[in-house]
Amino acid sequence: MAECKGGGDRSPSSSMDSSTHPVLSTTSSGCQPARRDLSTDLHLGLSLSSASSLLAPDTKSIPSKPRNQVPLDWPPIKPFLKRTLTASARRRRTLFVKVYMEGVPIGRKLDLLLLDGYDSLLTKLCHMFKTSITYADVMEYHRRVPHEKAAYVLTYEDQDGDWMMVGDVPWEYVSSLPDKREETEDCKNG
């Protein structure tokens, strides 16, 4: 899996937003309801912001983002709704996986059970990492979108330790798996 210099122009430094994400679980295994260890999550957040500024000195600053992170009193939703949704997230089953972008030691986490399919997963990851990502049929993707620069490819490590392209296994099966999985983004030259 060769390291690639093409792919996303924008660095994952915007993923410092994860430091405003207090409900990430520290466990990435699925079935048991996650007990939230907030201290670890906050620590992750802080390391990320300093590490990413070292890793991405040539970041093109995205004009729409405020200089600071998104404020804690945003978005403007009522406390009752916020409390209800937060409590609900705590109660529900979760399936958190870690996602790493190749070359970046600090990863992101997301709950697969909040997504309804591979399309949603891609959209969310593209948003989190601010880059184009593809999965399953890379050739298909490049045939459909020939002008786009080399994208990152989404892969995962299965129980046997093999690295596999994401997308072949039906989503319903994926979201019912109890075992711990890690996914990494990889780059393929276009």
Counts for the chain of helices (H) and strands (E), in that order: 5, 6
- Judged by CB under 8 A, does residue 131 bind other proteins? no
- Judged by CB under 8 A, does residue 173 bind other proteins? no
- Judged by CB under 8 A, does residue 146 bind other proteins? no
Nearer to other proteins, 43 or 65 (CB): 65
Of 1-9, 48-56, 121-129, 155-163, the window that binds other proteins (rule: CB under 8 A) is 121-129
- Judged by CB under 8 A, does residue 139 bind other proteins? no
The CB density around residue 56, as the number of other CB atoms within 10 Å, is: 15
Q: Which residues pair with 187 in a beta bridge?
A: 152
Q: Which of 57, 76, 146, 178 binds other proteins (CB under 8 A)?
A: 76
| 8 A C-beta contact, residue 151 and residue 6 | no
**In angstroms, what is the minimal distance from the CB of 63 to other proteins?**
7
Q: Which of 44, 51, 56, 89 binds other proteins (CB under 8 A)?
A: 89
Q: Long-range contacts for 171-174 (Cβ within 8 Å, ≥24 apart)?
A: 171/116, 171/117, 171/118, 174/112
Q: Which of 5, 35, 58, 75 binds other proteins (CB under 8 A)?
A: 75
Nearer to other proteins, 22 or 105 (CB): 22
The CB density around residue 151, as the number of other CB atoms within 10 Å, is: 24
Token couple for 22: 């207090």
The Cα diameter of the chain in Å comes to 49
**Which residues make up the interface to other proteins (CB under 8 A)?**
17-18, 20-23, 63-66, 69-82, 84-85, 88-89, 91-92, 110, 114, 116, 120, 123-124, 127-128
